[in-house]
Structures are given as structure tokens and as C-alpha cells.
Structure 1
Amino acid sequence: MAKGKDVRIRVILECKSCVRNDINKKFSGISRYITQKNRHNTPSRLELRKFCPYCYKHTLHVEIKK
């Protein structure tokens, strides 16, 4: 089996609201999660609602480039 063309790839999810409001924060930081996605089932960018410890609420996290 070839390991070069795996179906599952590792992606990084970043908080969308932390990126916009980073200047006005008392504790500056960007929430990031690492997960996997199936390349064939979801070819577009992944968007999930995850908990952000800097915003103290569930926000939209979007896939970023490595």
C-alpha cells in the first residue's frame, strides 16, 4: 500500500472571531484545533462550531492552510 495518497488528511481549524477581534482583547490569542477530514467526502474547506477559550463561547472555526 502506498502511503502518499491517504484519503484522510490532517487540517487545522482556527477561530474566525478571534482573528477579527484580536486587537481589543485582554488576553490575546487564537484558538486552534487539529482534526482530520476525508478528502473525497469534503473537498471544500471545513467549518465547525467549537468552543473558543479566548471568546468564552462556541464560535465558528474554519480550516486554514498549513
Structure 2
Amino acid sequence: MAPKSKQRRILVRLVSTALTGFFYTTTRTRIGEKLAMMKYDPVVKRHVLFTEAKIK
């Protein structure tokens, strides 16, 4: 049998840096760098930085 190949894209969790516990899930390429982007956090009602964390 041939060995299983890894997927090209992986699922990641973007966690709010405002420490509200709010998160988005998205995909990125496996070999790409870690994601960090400004997105809307409805808990604090403003745009904040979201950084990548592992999905547990």
C-alpha cells in the first residue's frame, strides 16, 4: 500500500487578542506562515488582531 499523503490545506483557529474567547476558523496552506489578521470581535464591538492557534 502507498503511504497516506498529507492534505495541502489545514484548518486553523484564529483567536482574539482582546482575550474575549471569541474565535474564527479558517484554512491556510500547510507550508505557509502563521496567520494574523485584523477582524471584527463582536464581544468588544471593534476590530482587533486575531492570531493563529491550534485546534484542540
User: What percentage of aligned pairs have identical amino acids?
Assistant: 30
Query: 1:54: which partner in 2?
Result: 43
Q: Which structure is higher in strand share?
A: 2
Report the TM-score, using the length of structure 2 for normalisation.
0.79
Which segments of 5 or more consecutive residues in structure 2 lack a partner in the other structure? none
Report the TM-score, using the length of structure 1 for normalisation.
0.69
Query: 2:15: which partner in 1?
Result: 14
What amino acid does structure 1 have at the position aligned with 2:23?
R
Instruction: Could you list the structure 1 runs, at least 4 aligned residues long, displaced by more than 6 angstroms after superposition.
Output: none
Aligned residues: 53
